Amino acid sequence: MLAVPRTSIDSGPDVHGAAKLRVKALEKHYGSVVALRPTSLNVMQGEFLTLLGPSGSGKTTLLMMIAGLAIPDGGEIWIDGKDSTYAAPYERDVGVVFQNYALFPHLTVYENVAFPLRMRKYAAADIRKKVMRMLDVVGLPHVADRLPRELSGGQQQRVALARCAVYGPSIILMDEPLGALDKKLRDTMQFEIKRMHREIGSTTLYVTHDQGEAMSMSDRICLMNNGGIEQLGRPEDLYFSPRSRFAADFLGGTNFIPCQILGSEGDRLRLKGPLDVVFSARPPLEGALSAGSRADIVVRPQHIRITKVGETPTGSLPAEIVDRVVTGATTEYRARLADGTVLVVMELTDKTNLRVEPGQNVMLGWHLDNGTLLPTEDKR
Ligand SMILES: Nc1ncnc2c1ncn2[C@@H]1O[C@H](COP(=O)(O)OP(=O)(O)OP(=O)(O)O)[C@@H](O)[C@H]1O
Ligand SMILES: [Mg+2]
């Protein structure tokens, strides 16, 4: 797997190094609908990059153009340093897996996987070797003679993966390949896909709207919103340094605590938050915040600590617990401030913290490093 250095968090077309796939200002409209705004993206050799975003954000549109299954209205697609913008799908050395496995129903598993090799006129002995090796990779050598309908959904999806990867395409595109599977099978298949990626080493562009899946599988995540790239970076960069309210919220859910900048204090900013409580926070990574401007402190639910009234360090907010839900391993609280702001707090479930009851008055605080500051955005 490729370790992507921090400095390569760049969606621009001019990153140096082994970019397998370069997308430059690619765009697509359907009538008056802008499906993809001009978008630039580099995927490095061997990288596992995930397009993550809500429904309608342009993920499939981007993937279909890279596969050669949709024609761009503008921009370029370069594969291995070759302009492939208008190349036919079969000229691109790109394998595609969709959500609905689309196996040939009348062909056995073996013949399904062999199909791309027969199309490419491989020798019989070679076909046998490659098909059996791929069936091994996806853990299905024992079902080679069955028909697709004699397999479970997860097994069918694994056959689809095998068929896509068997001829060794240098780029594999997957559009929500686990969308139709139940939670448990999804988890297993995520693991299988990662293992296959490690074994085969194909550059992979993976589409999902599931942030957990994106976080656990990807070298980098390209977060899409409204037909464009919202943020591109390593999972931890998006999680810990979201550049926008949308990114903060889409990855993991979070609290936005409105505040006003009072001034700076060494390397920190002093802020006035709800109920006029004064906080410290580190300045945002991008953009300066001047005294008087408004911002949100972004704090994840698991980073807020509940303490008793009276035992509290400065910079804590008094609140009333209004709801408590034990979801299993974690317990989620809703806590309301006197000005009506509701914050979500999450703790590991533990008999001792179940003493915090709805109706109770508490203090809420967090470690300075767990609060990210974002300039307040104009409401779109
Ligand atoms: N063939 C088409 N004709 C008209 N509009 C389209 C077509 N394909 C996509 N769109 C529109 O383009 C936008 C982007 O669609 P796209 O399928 O790329 O989204 P997506 O991110 O893949 O969403 P999902 O998660 O639901 O699959 C949407 O507004 C969609 O309605
Ligand atoms: Mg889609």
What is the reported pLDDT for 61? 96
Residue at which a domain ends, from 190, 223, 247? 247
The CATH number of the domain holding residue 229 is: 3.40.50.300
Question: Span 341-369, mean pLDDT?
Answer: 89
Mutate to test the pocket of ligand 1, among 39, 57, 206, 226 (most ligand atoms within 8 A of CB): 57
**Sequence letter at residue 249:** D
Q: Ligand 2 centroid vs 98 CA: distance in angstroms?
A: 10
Per the structure, the complete domain to which residue 354 belongs is given by 253-375
Across the beta sheet with 268-272, the strand order is: 278-281, 268-272, 255-265, 294-299, 371-375
Answer with the residue of higher pLDDT: 365 or 138.
Answer: 365
Residue 13 located in a structural domain: no
Answer with the residue of higher pLDDT: 76 or 180.
Answer: 76
Ligand nearest to the CA of 52: 1
Q: Ligand 2 centroid vs 67 CA: distance in angstroms?
A: 14
Residue 7 located in a structural domain: no
Interatomic CA distance for residues 98 and 148, integer angstroms? 16
By mean pLDDT, which of 166-175, 241-250, 369-378 is the weakest? 369-378
Q: How many distinct structural domains can be found in the chain? A: 2
Helix residue ranges, H only, 172-224: 183-200, 211-217
Q: Ligand 1 centroid vs 314 CA: distance in angstroms?
A: 49
**Is residue 153 located within the same domain as residue 221?**
yes
**Is residue 171 located within the same domain as residue 134?**
yes
Residue 284's pLDDT band (cuts 50, 70, 90):
confident
Interatomic CA distance for residues 191 and 216, integer angstroms? 9
What is the reported pLDDT for 46? 94
How far the first Cα of the chain sits from its last, in Å, is 39
Share of the chain above pLDDT 90, in %: 59
**Is residue 170 located within the same domain as residue 310?**
no
Interatomic CA distance for residues 239 and 277, integer angstroms? 26
Residue 17's pLDDT band (cuts 50, 70, 90):
low
What is the reported pLDDT for 379? 53
What is the reported pLDDT for 1? 40
Q: Ligand 2 centroid vs 376 CA: distance in angstroms?
A: 30
Take residue 40 and report the two structure tokens written for it: 């630039």
Residue at which a domain ends, from 214, 247, 280? 247
What is the reported pLDDT for 173? 95
Identify which of 45, 52, 62 has the alpha carbon closest to the alpha carbon of residue 8: 45
**Is residue 226 located within the same domain as residue 333?**
no
Dihedral sign from CA coordinates of 96, 102, 107, 110? positive
Smallest CA separation from ligand 1 atom 29, residue: 56
Ligand 1 pocket at CB < 6 A: 30, 33, 35, 53, 55-61, 209
Q: Ligand 1 centroid vs 227 CA: distance in angstroms?
A: 9
Interatomic CA distance for residues 13 and 306, integer angstroms? 46
Question: Span 12-16, mean pLDDT?
Answer: 43
Question: Span 239-263, mean pLDDT?
Answer: 91
**Is residue 141 located within the same domain as residue 269?**
no
Answer with the residue of higher pLDDT: 364 or 311.
Answer: 364
Q: What is the pTM of this model?
A: 0.85
Take residue 73 and report the two structure tokens written for it: 């209205």
Kind of pairing, strands 220-225 and 74-79?
A: unpaired
What is the reported pLDDT for 312? 60
Contact 177, 99 (CB under 8 A): yes
The CATH number of the domain holding residue 269 is: 2.40.50.140
Residue 92 located in a structural domain: yes
Share of the chain above pLDDT 70, in %: 93
**Is residue 260 located within the same domain as residue 237?**
no
Smallest CA separation from ligand 1 atom 25, residue: 55
Question: Span 319-344, mean pLDDT?
Answer: 94
Ligand nearest to the CA of 36: 1
pLDDT per residue as tens digits for the range 72-125: 999 999 999 999 999 998 888 898 888 776 899 999 999 999 999 998 899 999
User: What average pLDDT does the chain have?
Assistant: 88
What is the reported pLDDT for 20? 94
**Is residue 203 located within the same domain as residue 71?**
yes
Residue 210 located in a structural domain: yes
What is the reported pLDDT for 227? 97
Smallest CA separation from ligand 1 atom 8, residue: 61
Answer with the residue of higher pLDDT: 157 or 218.
Answer: 218
88 contact partners, CB below 8 Å, separation of at least 6: 68
**Is residue 87 located within the same domain as residue 106?**
yes
Question: Span 340-356, mean pLDDT?
Answer: 87
What is the reported pLDDT for 376? 84
Answer with the residue of higher pLDDT: 67 or 138.
Answer: 67
What is the reported pLDDT for 145? 96
Which runs of E-coded beta strand occur in the chain? 19-30, 33-44, 48-52, 74-79, 82-83, 94-97, 171-175, 203-208, 220-225, 228-233, 255-265, 268-272, 278-281, 294-299, 305-308, 317-326, 330-336, 342-348, 361-365, 371-375
**Is residue 235 located within the same domain as residue 342?**
no
